[in-house]
Structure 1
Amino acid sequence: MQEMNILIVDDHPFIIEGYKNAINSYPAEGINFKITAAKDCKSGYDAIMNAVDTPFSVALLDFSMPAYIEKNIATGEDLALLIRKEMPNCKIALLTMHTELLKISAIVEDLKPNALIIKNDLTFDELLIAFAAVMNDEFYYSTTVKATVKAVKEDYSLEIDSFDKQILFHLSKGTSELEIPRYVPLLLEAIQQRICNLSELLGSTPNDHQSLVLAARSRKLV
């Protein structure tokens, strides 16, 4: 019988149990699922690094979890990037509360997860369908993700890249301009120039972050 290693990382025990039930409900003849569960970024990091020689086939990750500051692992997205590096053949499913257009768009474009589910869309049937899609080498996006991706594709007037999206997202969360380089791998001067460009593009008041965020929200970008 083939053994398939599955990683679940989530800080909510009922979500972990939901994943386990969905996995155990999957009709996999000749496959024995070996499930490893972790509850935060540290235990997720440890599970990944301890399994390098016997890599995971599928990883089911929550986006927002207690961070592992010592290793600069702050989110499930960071764990996904680590998996991409250490286990390039591992399929990744990501669960998130984020519904902001730019954040979802950035996750889809930069990480390209095999499945992305918004928690508000989550049902047991959704988990079953998403896991089955991942097992069949298909991509699965929940309803809200599909609507978000469609909105981005239809808005041809916006010429913004992944860094612009991250900058707008952090400004919308109240992050100061000086702090953004902690989260976006650009020099402060480059970030400031991008903010100026975004203000011009979105028609907001120059040098006014609140105006820029309001303009972005009016376009449903954050």
Structure 2
Amino acid sequence: MENKKINIVIVDDHPIVIEGLKMMLNSQLGFTVSKSFTSGLELIDFIRNHKVDIILLDITLPDSNGTELCREIKKISPATSVIMFSNRSERSIIMQSVQNGASGYILKNTSIDELVECIQGAYSGNIVFCEEIRHIISKPSQNDFLVPRLTKREKQILQMVAEGKTSITIADELFLSPLTVDTHRKNLLQKFQAKNSTELISLALQQNMIEGSK
């Protein structure tokens, strides 16, 4: 186990960024950068046939959007931890990335020590953010001023929806009828003014109403 190195892949459309990261990360004990790509398509082809522990993924690529690419990566390789690595710091992009399965979000001006710490944290199964991103997501958003009031049962069902459970599964676990669960879900959508479950979860995440990995 001591000889096991964290296998990292870098995806960025700037070769100079890739080379700098490679040099820094390969010098760290326990890390190895096995591959790098400048496009999303190349990465997808690679992960279909190779095991990867960590992917450092830029948001803006010539052939794809990083947040959508993250979703695709997690479908193909659920065990791979994706850390978004970007200059973009909009709260909506950060939240969308996490919603699509990212294990973290780091800005490109992050120090090497903080980057190493975040990679180790994501490898251990945690959701990680650099200090600047933690500061951004801790600030109230416009949606925070309209935090809906939920019943105890609605909070319970909201959490289970966020965990990806179906109405039938939720009904079985809570000893309710599927119809009752569907009614609660409709009420949640209405209270959050959300169009669908994905938007519901995103809004609840922004308002810290869902428990998750820290």
TM-score (norm 1): 0.56
2:96 corresponds to which of 94, 106, 113: 106
Contact 1:57 1:90 in 2 (8 A): yes
Over 3 Å counting, the alpha-carbon distance change for 1:159 and 1:107 in structure 2 is farther
Alignment of 1:17-166 (within 5 A): 17-28=19-30, 33=32, 35-49=34-48, 51=49, 54-67=50-63, 74-108=64-98, 110-119=99-108, 121-152=109-140, 156-158=144-146
* Aligned counterparts of 1:139 and 1:22: Cα–Cα separation in 2: 22
Contact 2:6–2:53 (8 Å) recurs in 1? yes
Matched residue count:
149
Aligned sequence identity (%): 23
Cα gap change, 1:3 to 1:95, in 2 (>3 Å): closer
The Cα shift of 1:94 comes to 0.7
8 Å CA contact 1:105–1:152 kept in 2: the answer is no
Q: Which one-letter code corresponds to 2:95 in the other structure?
A: S
CA distance 1:34–1:14, change in 2 (3 Å): closer
* Structure 1 gaps, min length 5: 68-73, 161-196, 199-222
For the 8 Å contact 2:13–2:39, the answer to whether it is kept is: yes
Q: Aligned in 2, Cα 1:35/1:158: closer, same or farther, shift over 3 Å?
A: farther
Structure 2 counterpart of 1:214: none
Distance 1:3 1:86 in 2: 22
Unaligned runs of 5+ in 2: 149-192, 195-214
Cα distance, 1:103 vs. partner?
Answer: 2.4
Q: Counterparts in 2 of 1:2-21, with a 5 A limit?
A: 2=4, 5-21=7-23
